[in-house]
A = this chain, B = another copy of it.
Amino acid sequence: MPINPDQQSQIDALRATPRQTLRAVSEGMEKHLYLAHEVLDHGFVRVVDYMGDDAAIVQAARVSYGAGTKATRDDAGLIRYLMRHWHSTPFEMCEVKLHVKLPIFVARQWIRHRTANVNEYSGRYSILDREFYIPAPEHLAAQSRKNHQGRDQVLEGEEAERVLSLLKEDAGRAYDHYEAMLSEEGQQGLARELARMNLPANIYTQWYWKTDLHNLFHFLRLRADSHAQYEIRVYADAICRIVADWVPHAYAAFEDYRMGAVQLSAKGVDVLQRRLRGETVTQETSGMSKGEWREFAAVWGEAE
Contacts and interface: CB of A to CB of B under 8 A. Distances in A.
Contacts of A56: 49
Chain A binding surface, main DSSP class: mixed
Nearest to A116: B114
Contacts of A103: 197
A210 B23 contact: no
Given A152-B188, A197-B105, A200-B174, A119 B266 contact: no
Looking at A21, A77, A143, the one whose CB has the most chain B CB atoms below 10 A away is A21
Interface string A137-177: 00011111000111111011001001100110011011001
B200 A198 contact: yes
Interface residues on A, range: 35 or more
Contact of A188 (B149, B155, B289): B155
A191 B289 contact: no
Contact of A49 (B52, B86, B149): B52
A128 to B, nearest CB: 9
Contact of A24 (B49, B108, B121, B123): B49
16 contacts: A18-B22, A63-B206, A63-B207, A64-B121, A66-B125, A68-B148, A84-B265, A163-B190, A199-B200, A257-B263, A260-B266, A261-B264, A261-B265, A262-B268, A275-B276, A276-B276
Q: Which 7 A-B pairs have the closest CB atoms?
A: A260-B266, A66-B126, A197-B202, A142-B188, A92-B117, A18-B20, A114-B114
